[in-house]
Chain A
Amino acid sequence: MTKKNITFAGIIFEGGTADKYKTGGWRKLRPTLDKDKCIDCLICWVMCPDSAVIVEDGKMVGFNLEHCKGCGICAMECPDKVKAITMEEEEK
């Protein structure tokens, strides 16, 4: 095993490093958005534990699939009257 350069107490000398750790590979279910149904309430954006819902100009526009783990919280939380997100099996 090749060792990394180990810093004092494992400190990393930059911030926001979670962005570099791609968790999208863990996903079994992929969220898909039906934009015609979406009312841009942004509840999914609030609830996503991985900050993987992309919002532009106040509108929900899709998912960052490099970080989305496929937990399905967004689909669950999307209002019942709308249900604009469905979870689909990832292709093997």
Chain B
Amino acid sequence: MATVTGTKKVVGLTGNSAIAYAMKQIDPDVCAAYPITPSTAIMEEFSGYYADGQVSTELIAVESEHSAMSACIGASAAGARVMTATSSQGLALMWEMLYVASGLRLPIVMAVVNRALSAPINIHCDHSDSMGARDSGWIQLYSENVQEAYDNLFQAVRIAEDKRVLTPVMVCMDGFITSHAIENLTLIDDAEVKDFIGEHEPAYSLLDTENPITVGAMTLPDAYMDIKHQQSKAIAASKDVVLEVAKEFEQRFGRSYGLMETYRLEDAEVCVVVLSSAAGTTKVAVDELRSKGKKVGLLKPRLYRPFPHEEIMEALKHCKAICVLDRADSMNGFGGPLFTDIRASLYDAPERPVVINRIFGLGGRDYTAEDAIGVYEELFKVVETGKVERLSAYLGEE
């Protein structure tokens, strides 16, 4: 194993500042963005770096997020390393272009600061924005805290640009909870960032006039499905690349990442599955219940798209009862998006655990360690009685 380097500089930064700083260190060729709460500060601070001549990026101020993603697509197809950031309605407005970016296999990296979708209008955290985009062909990484968001951004560049992947990546973190809270994190030196991400070698370039190409041409029933099949295989295979990149990241910088994080899960009888910052809150509850001898555990998916269903099944199959906490409702009368995925993954388990769903934290509603303890207590009741009273429900509501 290589010696661990670049772990010396500990600073306090908000999630947005850490992302802006990571973008400065990555120094992408092109950045096109439109500000939206709570991700605004990312572009505000990045444009400061731009104004001060600290990046060589071409910064494109556009009139909407639809244009932002369109400009990113054009620049990426021209062979540039491209980044952007958005939230909520901004991501929704990018909708049709998200599919164009992934279908053209453009390795764009986007920070998504999770925020609720209208209506009713709300600026606070939930995952309805990125969950809606979960099947747009983008890889999605979810970050628990500022350090993870910072580290994930560099890994996202490597994953997206890997020749086996060539697929855009969203790095998600919780709006306000992570984007606006100052946390300690360890920065990586500029030179080490450069060395880790390497030079961008585009798969194709519209600016290569010696070798002209046509990108995004009309394809009919004899070709469309085959191109989608290529894309489907590439995103499924990206799981291995995510692990490879995480391993190299750990060797260089000492912080370990995987497809998911498990917390005191090995011998747990009951388990909570939850994404992002709420996992940190849940860990407090796990420790408290463990101190009373209760066998509780946690699973926090990091890679949500592609969905590592086999690994998740392996990690959860020994549990008796599981509650999946979704910070977004699928409005399908069944359960949230994470719930349906986790439950489907466990279908192949030799002894299927009971899997229930609670929707929580919509529009920034608080989620506390007491809430988490309540969920574990409910799971123990399910195990004791063998009965599920409510399969899916809103946490704390009748």
Contacts and interface: CB of A to CB of B under 8 A. Distances in A.
Given A8-B105, A9-B227, A9-B230, A17 B221 contact: no
28 contacts: A3-B222, A3-B226, A4-B222, A4-B223, A4-B226, A6-B226, A8-B166, A8-B203, A8-B230, A9-B103, A9-B104, A9-B203, A9-B230, A9-B231, A10-B216, A10-B217, A11-B204, A11-B213, A11-B214, A11-B215, A12-B217, A13-B211, A14-B214, A15-B213, A15-B214, A16-B214, A17-B214, A17-B217
6 pairs of A and B residues whose beta carbons are closest in the complex: A15-B212, A12-B214, A6-B226, A9-B105, A10-B227, A17-B214
A14 B211 CA distance: 7
Interface in B269-302: none
B175 to A, nearest CB: 33
B219 interface: yes
A16 B213 CA distance: 8
Contacts of A14: 212-214
B212 A6 contact: no
Interface of B: 103-105, 166, 203-204, 211-219, 221-223, 226-227, 230-231
Interface residues of A, number: 16
Nearest to B229: A6
Nearest to B102: A9
B209 to A, nearest CB: 9
A1 B221 contact: yes
B67 to A, nearest CB: 22
Contacts of A10: 216-217, 219, 223, 227
Interface in A8-34: 8-17, 21
